[in-house]
Chains A and B, each alone.
Chain A
C-alpha cells in the first residue's frame, strides 16, 4: 500500500467506527444515558460550545505551563546526569523509583499543599513529564561513542566543550522524541488533576456533567480531549521531524 492509500484507509476506518457506533446505538436502542450516539455528542458540543471553550483553554494552559516547566527541569537534570558517570549511576535508582509512583497518587498531596485549583493541575502535568525527558537526554549524552570522546579529549577539549559540541547535539533527537511522549503525559496529568480537584478545565467539566447526568456533554468533553491530545501529539511529532532530520537519515 502506498502512503496515500494508507492514510485513506486510516481515515476510512475512523469514519467507519463512528458510523458503526451511530447505527449500533440506533438499532439496539441504547439509552442516551449509557452511550450517546456520535450525532448527539456533536449536537451537545455545538449546544454547549460557549460553556466548553473556557474549560478547553484552562486545560490547554495548565498542560502547557506544566509541560514547559517539566521540559526545563527534565533537560537540566538530563544534562547533569548524562554528563557525569557518577551522577548517572547515583541518581538513576532514585529516578526510577520516583517514576514508578503512579502520578495520580500525588494529586491529593498537591491539593493538600496548594488547595484545589490550577496549581495542582500544573504541578501534576509538570512532574509527570519530567522522567521521560531526563531518561532520553541523559541517555543521548551518556552514549557518545568512546572513540569520539577519545578524539575530543586528545584535542584537549574540556568537558564543557565535549558536552556542547557532541553530547548536547547528539541528544537532541532523543530529546525531541521524548517531547511528544511528554506532552501527552502532561495532558493526561492535568486532566486527571482537574477531575480530582479543580473548578475549571475539561476534566472538571466532565465530572460536573456526569453528576447532572448530562451524558452527551460528558462525551463531548471526551471528544474535545481526544482532539486536543491528538493535535498536541501531532504538533510535537512535526517539530521532531523538522528539527532532527539528520537522525531520520532523510535524503536532502
Chain B
C-alpha cells in the first residue's frame, strides 16, 4: 500500500455487520457495510434512532467485535503503534472526585507513551498540556473546580478536552451536544471546528441534528432504519473555517432539507428478527 492509499484507508470497514444477542434474541443492528474513512476526515453519521450509529462507533473503537467482515486500520498493518482513540458521549461522565484539570488529564494516565511519563513525574508538563487545552475551550478559570460546579455546556467542553488530551488519531463523538440548548450547541460547534482545524484528528461524529452534521462535517453518511446500512454518502464542501452564519445560507438549508428527506422517507428494509445477511 502506498502512502496516499494508506491515508485514504485510515479506517476501512470490509463487509462489517453486527448482530447483537444470540438465538431467539438476535437483533441485527448493522447490515454488512463497507466504508473507508480517510485520515483527517470529518465524517458525520446520521440516521433514524436505533439504526446502528452508536454500534458503528463502538466497532471503530473496538469495544465490539464485528460478527461479520473485518475492520482494518492502516497504521496497524505496518506494525506502527496502534490507533489512538478519543471518545466522548452525550453524558459528559466526568469523575466527580477530581478537578476539571485532573479529569482532562485522565487519559494520560492510561495511554502510552504518556503513561510512563506519569510515573516519571512529568505531571507538571502534562498539567500545562491540560491547561493549554482548557484555555483553548475557555475553561481555564474552572480548572480547579469539580465537575458538579459546572454547567452542562462547560462539562461538555471538558469532556471534549478529555477526548483530545492524548492527541488521538481518531476522535469518536456520540451525540456529544445532544443534551445542550441551541446557543450552547452552536458555540460548541465552533469550538470543535477550531480544535479539528488545528489538530486535524480523524473525526467520526454521530448526531441527530442534521444542521450539526452539515455545519461540521466534510462528509455525511446517511443510514437506513435498523438494520442499518449506509444509503447515502456525500461530501460537504463549504469552505473552512465555516462561520456560524453559514447555517442561514440557502445552500446550507437546502442540504439539510435534502438529508431530512432521505431519512424520513426511507422504507424499512431487512427483517426485524435478525438473519437478513
**Nearest-CB distance from B161 to chain A (Å)?**
13
Given contacts A147-B89, A154-B87, A157-B110, A166 and B95 within 8 Å (CB-CB): yes
Contact assessment for A150 and B110 in the assembled complex, using a CB-CB cutoff below 8 Å: no
Q: In whole angstroms, how far apart are the Cα atoms of A235 and B85 in the complex? A: 45
A148 within 8 A of B: yes
Q: Indicate which residue in A145, A165, A252 contacts B110 across the interface (CB closer than 8 Å).
A: A165
A143 to B88, CA, bound (A): 19
Judge whether B96 is part of the interface by a CB distance below 8 angstroms. Answer: yes
Cross-chain contact B85 with A155 (CB below 8 angstroms): yes
Bound together, the chains give a CA A219 to CA B95 distance in angstroms of: 49
A161 touches B93 (CB 8 A): no
B97 & A155 in contact (Cβ 8 Å cutoff): no
Q: How far is the CB of B115 from chain A (nearest CB, A)?
A: 9
A-chain residues with CB within 8 Å of residue B89 when the two chains form the complex: 147, 150-151
Within 8 A of B (CB), among A181-224: none
CB distance from B166 to the nearest CB of A (A): 8
Residue A153, interface by CB 8 Å: yes
Residue A247, interface by CB 8 Å: yes
Option from A147, A152, A170 in Cβ contact (under 8 Å) with B91: A147
CA distance A156 to B106 in the complex (A): 13
| Docked complex Cα distance between A90 and B110 (Å) | 30
A50 at the interface (CB under 8 A from B): no
B residues less than 8 Å from A157 (CB atoms): 110
A160 to chain B, nearest CB (A): 11
**A151 and B148 contacting across the interface, CB-CB below 8 Å:** no
Tell me the bound Cα distance from A156 to B84 in angstroms. 9
Within the complex, the shortest CB–CB distance from A226 to chain B, in Å, comes to 35
> At the interface, yes or no: B146 with Cβ under 8 Å from chain A?
yes
Say whether A145 contacts B91, CB under 8 Å: yes
- Residue-wise, chain A 170-181 has the 8 Å CB interface mask toward B (1 for contact) of 101000000000
Bound-state CA distance A246–B95 (Å) is 10
Quick check: B93 and A154 within 8 Å, CB to CB?
Answer: no
Picked from B63, B90, B96, B106, the residue with its CB within 8 Å of the CB of A154 is B63
A172 to B111, CA, bound (A): 25
Whether the Cβ atoms of B58 and A155 lie closer than 8 Å is no
With a cutoff of 8 Å between Cβ atoms, the chain B residues found around residue A165 in the complex are: 106, 109-110
- CB <8 Å contact, B87 and A156: no
Q: Is A155 a contact partner of B110 (Cβ separation < 8 A)?
A: yes
Determine the chain B residues whose CB is within 8 A of the CB of A246 once the complex forms.
Answer: 96-97, 146, 148
| Known pairs A154-B86, A155-B110, A166-B95 / 14 extra A-B pairs, C-beta < 8 Å | A145-B91, A150-B63, A150-B87, A151-B88, A152-B110, A153-B61, A154-B63, A156-B111, A161-B109, A169-B95, A246-B97, A247-B96, A247-B97, A252-B146
A-B contact pairs, 28 of them (CB 8 A): A145-B91, A147-B91, A148-B95, A150-B61, A150-B87, A150-B89, A151-B88, A151-B89, A151-B162, A153-B63, A154-B61, A154-B87, A154-B172, A155-B87, A155-B107, A155-B111, A156-B110, A156-B111, A157-B110, A161-B109, A161-B110, A169-B97, A172-B97, A246-B96, A246-B97, A246-B146, A247-B96, A247-B97
